[in-house]
Amino acid sequence: MTLRSLLTVIATFASIVFTPLTAAADELADVTRLRREGQPAAALEKADQFLVAQPKDAQMRFARASLLVDLNRSSEAVAVLESLTEDYPDLAEPYNNVAVLYASSGEYAKARSALEQALRLRPAYATAHENLGDVYAALAASSYASALKADPALPGVQGKLAQVRQAVAPVAAASSAAANPPTATPTR
């Protein structure tokens, strides 16, 4: 085989192998652009169309979850992220982001478990560490409030509750203002 024919074969192979990757990247870029332009419904429609042909594409599924959050369809976003954790159990991002949605609905035990899994997968995942701290703070506030309900005269608990609530308040305000979009894109 000559060098020229070998290069032709390599180029043909590359176009076959990498064209779907390029097409997927282009579709994801279009979805991202539509979202950025404030058109989450159109972006979701485009993502759904893409996922009919490529249902296992992790990045587009992750984008879809983000769009569902934008459209206040959190329970559907949770389902998408949970399915990502099942299909790609080695990706930390879906665990982190489903945890944010669990926490926003008060499901702190599920949020903690998901965040701990994210950190087992990627121990240096700073956002997951921060989110876990927020979950622990919310759990602490809930426990302190329960303690005060059981015994309003319990010494020191009122101060602890106030401190935790003060620490968590800016985080809660920022989370609700941002509508808790997913924080990172998986790489698969």
What pLDDT sits at residue 156? 92
User: pTM surpassing 0.85?
Assistant: no
Asked if 66 and 181 touch (Cβ cutoff 8 Å), the reply is yes
Q: Over the stretch 137-178, which tens digit does the pLDDT of each residue have?
A: 999 999 999 999 999 999 999 999 999 988 877 655 544 433
Q: Write down all domains in the chain, each with its CATH number in brackets.
A: 3-178 (1.25.40.10)
Closest alpha carbon to 185 in 90, 58, 88: 58
Residues in CB range of 87: below 8 A, 6 or more apart: 56, 58
pLDDT for residue 187 is more than 90: no
Neighbours of 132 (CB within 10 A): 21
User: What count of other Cβ atoms lies within 10 Å of the Cβ of residue 131?
Assistant: 25
Tens-place pLDDT, residues 88-145: 999 999 999 999 999 999 999 999 999 999 999 999 999 999 999 999 999 999 999 9
Report the share of the chain in percent with pLDDT over 70: 78
Confidence of residue 55 (pLDDT cuts 50, 70, 90): very high
